[in-house]
Amino acid sequence: MAGPADPRAPVGLGRVFRLWFPLALSWGLMGCESPLFTMFVARMADQDIQLAAWGSVVFPVALVVEGPIIMLLAASTALCVDGEAYRKVRRFMWWSSGLLTLLHAAVAFTPLYDLVASGWIGAPAEVLEPGRLGLKIMLPWTAAIAYRRFQQGVLIRFERSRLVAAGTFVRMVTVVGFLAGGKYFEIGPGIVVGSLAIAAGVTAEAVFAGWCVQPVLRQRVFVAAPGKEPLSRRSFTRFYLPLAMTPLLTLLIQPAGSAAMSRMPDALPSLAVWSSVHGLVFLLRSTGFAYNEVVVALLGEPGAARALRRFAYVLGATTAGLLAVLAVTPLGEMMFRSVYGLRPELAALAASAILFAVLMPAYQALQSWFQGVLVHERKTRGITEAVLLYVIVAVVGLAAGVAWSGWTGILFAVCTFVVGGLLQTAWLAFRARHYIR
């Protein structure tokens, strides 16, 4: 495998693309998990209930629990420049993932589940027990995510992004194998087969990342001279705490959206298609998610700012255009019926929902550009401020939708998320403006 590009050479669009493409491929493969889950579970018994249990309870709760460690990828990319910094961030990774796994277990295996799923989310009664079972199976999720994102950040820092994509391929092969095997051998209902596949896939990816990073640690990290700014507990806390709050606040909107849709018209159909709509939009937004670490790794090198900004604009316009084609043509509904396996009524509802989400991939690319600038400069407070603005708009909007009850739940929820996302992007641009100049 070729080594990283010469750091003395000016950064052009080609170098940005070469670092970004394997990461985008990795995110894209991860984005296929939700469609694959739907494709298999929709062809098993009680598709509405099993899909609603995953989309309204299991996946949102698992995401919220892992929220504080999601930004370990950006933190590892930005900070793990020498052996001492690597060990300090690794220590944080183990402690935080252990505590969050205990929280996951408390929700899944104790009466706290009833408070969360029934009381807070308000999930329909028929999805509560399937949701509980799925959440128990997903117990390894948080620790596996923490470990693999931490190690992948080191790979990205030293421009080994192809190994990140290879790890995601290992994950997807594992997921498909468990889905197909579980369905063929009828090991249980859809929520059991799907949850087991997702948990096994992310665990396999974590093991692969830990294996791939060893040569990089020996050859680049542990032999590097200490950085100009040694990483202390105080500086790490000041850097990471705003980052940790960012996905946590954002992910709280997932169960909040489920809770709102549970109390709006057409609750069960909205919850049943929510994971499919979210999965498709995520697939296109994932190209923007992948861009954040590219900005962190390259910004500061000659010519990087201009090339990175131009790439963000092209990426946003392209992905939004692709979603628009699906939204305004019959392709969207055809895909939800033939690929996702949804019933015609559910497929029509899902196709209507993506029409309202067309701007999401565009503003995601811009968010990653502005957010990457702030992470590179270690000025992460503005990121939390932007997410807090998004959360406030989303919560107020969802509450208004519940009180009004005039629209189908998923349509109103998507509109609310788009308005919040646009305002979040505007605030990130405002906070990053000085550093871009």
- Distance between CA atoms of residues 224 and 196, nearest Å: 40
**Residue 7 φ/ψ, nearest 5 degrees:** -65, -15
Residues 43-101 pLDDT 10s: 887 778 888 899 889 988 998 899 889 889 989 998 898 899 999 999 999 999 999 99
Average pLDDT score over residue span 23-32: 83
Output the CA torsion 412→418→423→424 (10° steps).
120
Residues contacting 280, CB < 8 A, separation 6+: 35, 326, 335, 350, 354
Is residue 3 scored above 60 in pLDDT? no
Q: Lowest mean pLDDT: which of 44-53, 106-115, 247-256?
A: 247-256
- Distance between CA atoms of residues 282 and 350, nearest Å: 14
Strands (E), 112-172: none
Q: How confident is the model at residue 1 (pLDDT cuts 50, 70, 90)?
A: very low
**Closest to 142 measured CA to CA, from 240, 72, 194:** 72
C-alpha distances (whole Å) from 139 to each of 55, 100, 135, 136, 198 are 17, 10, 7, 6, 11
- Three-class secondary structure of residue 229 per DSSP: coil
Domain boundaries, the chain: 13-436
b/e per residue 299-318 (b: at least 16 CB within 10 A): bebeebbebbeebbeebbee
- Distance between CA atoms of residues 398 and 378, nearest Å: 33
Mean residue pLDDT of the chain comes to 88
Q: How many CB atoms lie within 10 A of CB 193?
A: 27
Number of helices and strands in the chain (H, E) = 20, 0
- Distance between CA atoms of residues 35 and 37, nearest Å: 5
Q: How confident is the model at residue 254 (pLDDT cuts 50, 70, 90)?
A: low
Q: pTM for this structure? A: 0.77
C-alpha distances (whole Å) from 209 to each of 53, 289, 297 are 30, 19, 19
> Could you tell me if residue 256 is left (phi over 0), alpha (psi between -120 and 50 degrees) or otherwise beta?
alpha
Q: Is 236 exposed, middle or buried (0-12, 13-18, 19+ CB in 10 A)?
A: middle
Is residue 400 scored above 60 in pLDDT? yes
Asked if residue 80 lies in contact with residue 89, where contact means CB atoms within 8 angstroms, the answer is: yes
Residues 362-396 pLDDT 10s: 999 999 999 999 998 888 889 989 988 998 998 89
Average pLDDT score over residue span 134-150: 96
Is residue 2 scored above 60 in pLDDT? no
Asked if residue 327 lies in contact with residue 351, where contact means CB atoms within 8 angstroms, the answer is: yes
